[in-house]
Amino acid sequence: MSIFGSRLTTVAAFMLAGLAGVGPALAQPPGFGCGGGSPLEHLERQVARAGLAPETTKVVYEQIDQARAERRAIEASLGAAQQQMGSLLDQDGASADVVMAQADAVGALETQLHKLELRTLLQIRGLVTPEQWKALAPKRRPGPWGPQDAAGPPDGPRP
């Protein structure tokens, strides 16, 4: 087998893993360990418990609903892009350039989803006090963006 063939096989295996759902799980940015669902879903669950003023609660829910509508549109495009990738990978002798271009398209849509969540979180953060945000904010796992990194490296080796 040529070097090109083995590289294409490796790329195909990674892309198929992504189509099987492994990619989206690995694509989550470190630090958003909110116990299931997206950071926005976590935020929505927390709003009722945060004791926000009714008008603030209404605006927060409107922001989440707007983001959800945008998310559905992006997810539909992402699903189509992933199906296209599957079709490409099912072809004998698929062009590596075409597969890589489709991988870029899939990655760009995944990035749009992450940016949508971040933009919405920042918009909502601007509507509430710092104390309210602490009650609302998605909980972050320790890691590259986690709390211990702000204080500098830990004293001992990381697990």
In the chain, domain spans:
35-132
Q: State the amino acid at position 143 in one-letter form.
A: G
SS3 content of the chain, % helix, strand, coil (to 5): 70, 0, 30
pTM: 0.64
Four-way CATH pick for 35-132: 1.10.10.10, 1.20.120.1490, 1.10.645.10, 3.30.465.10: 1.20.120.1490
Q: What is the pLDDT of residue 1?
A: 46
Q: What is the DSSP letter of 20?
A: T
Which of 108, 109, 111, 87 has the alpha carbon at shortest distance from 98?
87
Q: What is the pLDDT of residue 116?
A: 96
Q: What is the pLDDT of residue 54?
A: 92
pLDDT band at 141 (very low <50, low <70, confident <90, very high): low
Which tokens sit at 154?
């830990």
